[in-house]
Every structure is written in structure tokens, then in C-alpha cells.
A and B are shown apart, each in its own frame.
Chain A
Amino acid sequence: MYYEELDDYSEYPDYIAEAMREEYDQAFEDLIDCFDIADKHTSVLNFQRLKELYVCYQLVQSVVDKSNTKISLELHKPVANMGYVEIKGKRINVTQPKKFVEICRLASNIEVLPMTDGNTVLNIGFNDITNIIEGD
């Protein structure tokens, strides 16, 4: 059902619908490739990147008001070579924005999204915490 909704471009003119369909298919294939590459090859831990992730986890606790938020660290999720720090709460109050931005610049990406349960989630993602061994 969900896929059908995504695939419905009937409200658009044909040439735009075609372009959107191609774009969506390509993005979906890229995502599958991303999971395949990370999960099906032997890889070694990138200690530098892992250290940065742990440093981020420690520092975030001092720059975000912890009274109404939950801060957690996830390793090897959603793909084997990725990890992230998740901050979840009704209100995420950043008390030291300058330090917060410096921490975010260490990361590969940040995402802030509203959730259906009324919470807000801030994910600070780190890519390449493992490196694929060449020739494998």
C-alpha cells in the first residue's frame, strides 16, 4: 500500500512523472547498493572515526539539557559501517550552541525530525566507522 502511494505520480504531467519515477528508482538502487557493500564485505574498525563518535557522545551530554531528553549511542546501525548518537525528547534544548556546532562538524550528517508520538529526534550520524578491506 505504501509503495503504491509512492509510485502514484498521476497528478503530475507525464514527463515529470517519468523523471520522478526514474529518480526514485535510482535512489532506491543506490540505497540497496549502500547496504550490500557495507554488509557483505570484510571490514576493519576505523579507530579514529569510532573515537570521534564516542567523543561526540560524551560532549553532547554537556551541551544539551539532559533533564527532559534521552541520549543514546548506536553502533553499526542502520548499516555496519555507520553509527549515530540519538537525542530524543519533547524539547531538545541546546545550552551551548557553539560547542554543539563544533561537535556536529565532526559528524557526517545531522537529522532533526518530529515524531508522531510528539517527541523530537536529533540524530548525529557517523559514516565509515569500519573500512572495507581492499580486494575482498
Chain B
Amino acid sequence: MQIGNSFKAVQKAINAADEQFGNSWEVNDEYLDILSEYCENIDALGDQYQAIMYIAEVDKTTMEIKITLGCTGLYTGYGALWSQERAFDTEKLFYPIAERCVRLEFSSDEDLLKIQFVFPSIWERV
């Protein structure tokens, strides 16, 4: 799947989870706006690394939001010897998202690197 707008997928996951959580929990719009900004950064990171897939899901027990990005690799600093510009952009895009996560996970599926960003819950008890 070619990456598009990750926030649309996140919204679908949020809507599905919202129905399951019931009336006692409500989405905080302020938190949702912040999450949409993170998604913009994830989209930009995905564009830069020609990401080929992403998965958005909501943890049913902790209510945390997980966004997984699939790409071939990730480089910052002087790592990308062939492309200094790309490496610099990665630092500007990756670090700000990474430091706002609750957890960060790197895993691989054949030749695909999966980066999972776990963001805190956006639900509040009514």
C-alpha cells in the first residue's frame, strides 16, 4: 500500500475504537489536533523514505494509539553518506516525533523495517 495521509487511517482506527469504548469515554479534541500534527511529521518521514505501508491501531486496554511505518531503513546524521540532505531532514522529522512517544519499537519483516510509534490515549472519561 502506498502511503497517503496517515491521519485518515488513524481517524478510522479512532472511530472504530470509539464505538467500542462506549459513552463513558470521549475523544479530547485538543489531543486529537496534536496527534494530527504528529501524523503530518510521520507522513513527511514516510515520503522521504518512500514508505510502502503503514498501520494505525488503538490498543483496547491501554487506549494508546499505535502508528506503524514500513520503509527500507532509517538514517540520521552522517549515516547516509550518499545523501547528507536526506539525513538532516530525518533528524528534524524523526526526533521530534520519537521524543513524544510513549514507546518506540523497531522490527523487521523480510527486507522491510517497521517503525512503531506508540502515542498516549486521547480519550477522557466523561
Give chain A's interface residues, CB within 8 Å of chain B.
Answer: 23, 27, 30-31, 90-95, 97-98, 100-102, 104-105, 107-116, 118-120, 122-123, 125, 127
Further 15 A-B residue pairs, CB within 8 A, beyond A94-B104, A111-B73, A125-B79: A23-B82, A94-B103, A94-B105, A97-B101, A97-B103, A97-B104, A100-B104, A109-B75, A109-B78, A110-B75, A112-B115, A114-B108, A114-B111, A115-B108, A116-B111
Across the two chains, which residue of chain B brings its CB closest to A107? Answer: B77
The 4 A-B residue pairs whose C-beta atoms are closest, nearest first, are A109-B77, A114-B108, A109-B79, A94-B104
B122 to chain A, nearest CB (A): 18
Residues on B with beta carbons closer than 8 Å to the beta carbon of A107: 77
B109 to chain A, nearest CB (A): 8
Q: Are B108 and A119 in contact, CB atoms less than 8 angstroms apart?
A: yes
Given contacts A101-B99, A104-B95, contact A118 B74 (CB under 8 A): no
B68 to chain A, nearest CB (A): 12
Residues on A with beta carbons closer than 8 Å to the beta carbon of B73: 111-114
Report Cα–Cα, A110/B75, bound state, in Å.
Answer: 6
| B9 beta carbon closer than 8 Å to chain A | no
Number of B interface residues at 8 Å Cβ cutoff, please give it. Answer: 29
Report Cα–Cα, A123/B78, bound state, in Å.
Answer: 12
Residues on B with beta carbons closer than 8 Å to the beta carbon of A30: 81
| B102 beta carbon closer than 8 Å to chain A | yes
Q: Are B98 and A120 in contact, CB atoms less than 8 angstroms apart?
A: no
Q: Are A92 and B106 in contact, CB atoms less than 8 angstroms apart?
A: yes
B41 to chain A, nearest CB (A): 13
